[in-house]
Homo-oligomer: A and B are copies of this chain.
Amino acid sequence: MSITIKDIASTLGISPSTVSRALNGHPDISEKTRKSVKDLAKKMNYQVNQMASGLRTKRSFTIGVLVPKIASHFFSSALSGIQEVAVANNYQVLICQTNESQNQERKYVKSLLSAKVDGFLISLAKGQKTITHIKAIVDNKVPLVFFDRISDSFNVPKIEAEDFKGAHRAVTHLIDTGCRKIVHLAGPDNLTASYNRMQGYKQALKDKNIPIDEKLIIPCDFDPENAKKAIHRLMGQNGDIDGIFTVNDELGVEAILTLKSMNIKVPDQVSVVGFGDFPICRIVEPNLTSIRHNPYQIGLEAAQCLFSQINHKNIDGGSRRVIPSELVVRDSSKTK
């Protein structure tokens, strides 16, 4: 039904081989033939059948992307960056949302492997334990790049946000503006990003000779409800808490809203600093001080790294690229 190379060949009275070569810009073909083929292709609205050419060339011109959640500022921005690079390389992007489920992740990897994608861009679901499906990708020698949610168990390139340094910067800012008893509303610590932010928090305290109190580190699993409960509990028993550093901006916003509902003044009584610099920082009141990282850039560089593997086959093993971050001071923290 859909028109093929053969149709063009027969109307032009030449062979399909020649049509294929003309369409693909093969140097052997005469200018005249090339032109007549291209003109007719355009006129007939010919579109190469990617399944057929992919089967022949072993290239699907498709990459697969796994993210925990599409509907999040971080990942949807990263996806934009990825798409940008993919388009520039004439590639399609298969986007899969794992919903933080390893099971779902496993299924997607299987089906993307079956779709013969030329490469994978993966931000892991939380709770990583059994990652045999990732091993399947590596075993099949399909290029793979981790971004944001990475795993050190594999010798593949990784693109990360500046988690440790960013967190360090955030907490140092809190200390420098007078906070001494600083809570950390943490993410799942089996995620490197969360873990590194927590380490940054700890190191900043150490550097300023403030003792680390493990009871002030609350795992919230990215759930604002947990943040709310934790704040209610902590503020009840520790009247002297004066700062909160959250693993991301959603929890930071929740912290501000909760403190306000308890009639605790932000930042006069308690300062809050988030992580991510999402647009919501400028909506909540007081505006949330945060760490700006660049999800678009992270996606972009992850994709560039993947395509350099796909195109030049230079597998540079477990390289690691950290995208810089910066502190953005707003009204939820004090000035010096």
Interface residues, chain A, CB within 8 Å of chain B?
Answer: 1-2, 45, 47-52, 54-55, 60, 62, 70-73, 76-77, 79-80, 83, 87, 90, 92-97, 107, 110-116, 136, 140-141, 253, 257, 279-280, 283-285
Contact = CB atoms under 8 A, between A and B. Distances in A.
A52 B50 contact: no
Given A52-B55, A95-B93, A140 B76 contact: no
Nearest to A56: B51
A70 B60 contact: no
Nearest to A48: B114
Contact of A92 (B73, B115, B140, B280): B115
B70 A79 contact: yes
A114 B136 CA distance: 29
A298 to B, nearest CB: 13
Contacts of A136: 45
Q: Most chain-B Cβ atoms within 10 A of its Cβ — which of A52, A70, A107, A116?
A: A70
A110 B47 contact: yes
Nearest to A142: B2
Contacts of A280: 279-280, 283
Contacts of A72: 76
A134 to B, nearest CB: 14
A226 to B, nearest CB: 17
Contacts of A253: 283
Contact of A94 (B54, B70, B94): B94
- Interface centre among A51, A70, A96, A115, by most chain B C-beta atoms within 10 angstroms, is A51
Of all A-B residue pairs in the complex, the 8 with the closest CB atoms, nearest first, are A71-B76, A47-B114, A95-B95, A51-B55, A51-B54, A70-B76, A51-B51, A50-B115
A71 B79 contact: yes
A2 B115 CA distance: 12
Most central of A1, A95, A136 by chain B CB within 10 Å: A95
Residue with the greatest number of chain B CB neighbours at <10 A, chosen from A96, A115, A280: A115
11 contacts: A1-B140, A47-B110, A47-B114, A49-B55, A50-B116, A51-B55, A51-B116, A70-B80, A72-B76, A83-B97, A95-B95
Contacts of A80: 70-71, 97
Contacts of A52: 51, 55
Nearest to A99: B80
